[in-house]
């Protein structure tokens, strides 16, 4: 019962043959899912938090830093996706190379990554939806559009008494709409995502081309504001603020990780998943860098609205009609981000349940008609909806980055281990300059973890500790690999019996 036992490649191949999911996604369908996850949370939400609180106009440098780190990791992901095209993403890749305990830690933190990712986007969706209502002169009550902490803060700013009760109803409801789409099936989810991706890419291009004419270069001075030391021991602005912002916007890039979770529904996963991983990352990184330069050039960074930065930038230059267009696109675009985040989460649960590390009846059960893991989808919807309705956005957004950074670093190491231990494996995609790319990817992502805020580290340690407790109390003894040696001995016994019967 070693915690370092590894899942044999033959077991992954067996899982692929037993796949119950519908294989309907081609390379551009997978790429669209990646773009659907990447464009949204970063552009429509985190640009405000990262620029306003940490990097200022140098947010573009934060996206460059995060993008480079992601590029190294994405090349390693692409090789693994071509070798082990199964749902589970970094969790599955770690299981085949680093051992069960490492795989569990990665999988457990991917739960945090995707859950908090979907929650962040649900809260942001509510913010843009509220702004859209205001555009049409509809004023919903504050206590129905915000969590208690945010509602109290807004009430104080407005010179009002804090409401006795507050609940973010839009965030709660949109989560259940997305949950219903996911239960219905991958084909319906992919079609919905494709339509939304076309809309929001068009609007992002609009932001770039129209916003360019409203850039005031004075807003870029100073490009990197002076360092400010915060009461909690962290710092904002300066180069440390730029790197801290990079750890925050890292959340925006986990879309390519979500692509790898869809291998079980890809038509030709060994070729199409690597293509979609790299293509979605390259397209979105370029868009992120340009949009961040446009936004911080249009209005001073300290005037960006944290919840709806893109719309507020166009309001600041007197373009209310553009604000309506952007707000509508953001509402639709963030819906697709939630869809892919929650989709990825349920597929990781499915991979862990197939390996016995989570209860199969809850996390692995596939609906007979829709061919989706409906029970885990409902569970994810319940958790995300409740947390989104009751938690401030700045408390959940930063928790996403730790799981991402750890997964990217571990996969960068794992691809080297696989090259050394099993060089004979067929690799439809091979990481170029693997010794440089893998080491740089691991070093880059471990290095970024150093700059994560202290309270995020605390949450990460508490969550990881809870995960270890679950592993040693349940997952270790229920793992399918516990029965692997027993199964092998039975095969040997059966072979002996069959041979004696033939004699």
CB 79 within 8 A of CB 255: no
CA-CA distance, 7 to 358, in Å (whole number)?
16
Do 371 and 182 form a contact (C-beta atoms < 8 A)? no
Instruction: Name the superfamily (CATH) of residues 9-497.
Output: Amino acid/polyamine transporter I (1.20.1740.10)
| pLDDT tens track, the chain, 503 positions | 578 888 888 888 787 777 777 788 889 999 998 888 888 656 776 788 888 888 889 999 999 988 888 889 899 989 988 888 887 788 888 898 888 998 999 899 888 878 888 888 898 889 889 888 988 889 899 889 988 888 888 888 878 888 888 999 999 999 999 999 999 888 888 888 888 888 888 888 988 999 899 898 998 988 888 877 766 555 678 888 888 888 778 767 767 778 888 888 888 888 898 999 999 998 988 998 999 999 899 988 888 877 678 877 888 788 877 878 888 888 888 888 898 889 888 988 998 998 999 998 889 888 888 888 999 999 999 999 999 999 876 655 556 667 778 888 889 999 998 899 888 888 899 999 999 999 999 998 888 788 777 877 888 888 899 999 999 999 999 998 887 654 554 354 344 334 444 44
Residue 473: how many other CB atoms lie within 10 Å: 9
Q: Which two tokens stand for residue 440?
A: 């740089």
Which ranges in 300-319 belong to alpha helices (H)? 309-316
Whole-angstrom distance, CA of residue 105 vs CA of residue 87: 17
Give Cα 198 distance to the centre of its chain. 20
The DSSP output letter for 42 is I
Neighbours of 38 (CB within 10 A): 28
Closest to 254 (Cα-Cα) out of 379, 371, 338: 338
Give strand pairing partners of 96: none
The closest of 134, 71, 165, 86 to 348, measured between CA atoms, is 86
Question: Residue 138 in contact with residue 114, Cβ under 8 Å?
Answer: no
**Chain centre distance of CA 366:** 23
- Residues 6 or more apart in contact with residue 503 via CB below 8 angstroms: none
Spatial CB neighbours of 423, under 8 Å, sequence gap ≥ 6? none
């Amino acid at each position: 019962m070693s915690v370092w036992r590894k899942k044999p490649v033959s077991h992954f191949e067996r899982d692929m043959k037993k796949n119950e999911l519908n294989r309907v996604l081609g390379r551009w369908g997978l790429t669209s899912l990646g773009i659907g996850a990447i464009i949204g949370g970063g552009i429509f939400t985190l640009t405000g938090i990262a620029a306003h609180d940490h990097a200022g106009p140098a947010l573009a440098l934060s996206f460059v830093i995060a993008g480079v780190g992601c590029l190294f990791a994405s090349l390693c992901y692409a090789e693994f996706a071509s070798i082990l095209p199964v749902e589970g993403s970094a969790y599955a890749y770690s299981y085949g190379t680093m051992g069960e305990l490492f795989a569990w830690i990665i999988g457990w933190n991917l739960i945090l990554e995707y859950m908090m990712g979907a929650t962040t986007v649900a809260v942001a969706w509510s913010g843009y939806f509220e702004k859209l209502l205001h555009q049409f002169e509809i004023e919903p009550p504050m206590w129905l559009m915000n969590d208690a902490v945010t509602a109290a803060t807004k009430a104080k700013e407005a010179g009002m008494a804090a409401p006795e009760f507050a609940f973010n109803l839009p965030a709660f409801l949109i989560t259940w709409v997305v949950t219903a789409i996911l239960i219905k099936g991958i084909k319906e989810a992919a079609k919905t995502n494709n339509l939304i991706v076309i809309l929001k890419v068009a609007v992002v291009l609009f932001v770039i081309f129209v916003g360019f004419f409203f850039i005031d270069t004075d807003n870029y001075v100073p490009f990197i504001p002076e360092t400010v030391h915060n009461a909690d021991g962290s710092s904002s602005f300066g180069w440390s603020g730029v790197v801290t912002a990079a750890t925050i916007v890292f959340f925006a890039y986990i879309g390519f990780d979500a692509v790898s979770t869809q291998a079980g529904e890809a038509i030709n996963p060994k070729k199409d998943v690597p293509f979609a991983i790299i293509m979605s990352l390259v397209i979105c990184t370029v868009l992120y860098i340009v949009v961040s330069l446009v936004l911080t050039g249009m209005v001073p960074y300290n005037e960006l609205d944290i919840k709806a930065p893109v719309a507020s930038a166009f309001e600041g230059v007197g373009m209310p009609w553009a604000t309506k267009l952007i707000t509508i696109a953001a509402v639709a675009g963030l819906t697709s981000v939630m869809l892919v985040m929650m989709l990825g989460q349920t597929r990781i649960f499915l991979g862990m349940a197939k390996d016995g590390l989570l209860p199969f009846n809850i996390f692995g059960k596939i609906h007979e008609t829709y061919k989706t893991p409906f029970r885990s989808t409902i569970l994810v919807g319940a958790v995300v909806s409740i947390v989104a309705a009751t938690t401030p956005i700045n408390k959940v957004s930063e928790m996403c980055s730790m799981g991402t950074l750890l997964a990217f670093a571990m996969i960068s190491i794992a691809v080297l281990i696989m090259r050394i231990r099993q060089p004979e494996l067929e690799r439809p995609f091979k990481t170029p300059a693997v010794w440089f790319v893998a080491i740089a990817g691991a070093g880059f992502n471990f290095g970024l973890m150093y700059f994560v805020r202290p309270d995020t580290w605390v949450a990460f340690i508490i969550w990881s500790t809870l995960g270890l407790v679950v592993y040693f109390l349940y997952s270790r003894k229920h793992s399918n690999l516990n029965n692997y040696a027993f199964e092998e001995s039975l095969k040997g016994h059966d072979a002996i019996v069959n041979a004696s019967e033939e004699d």
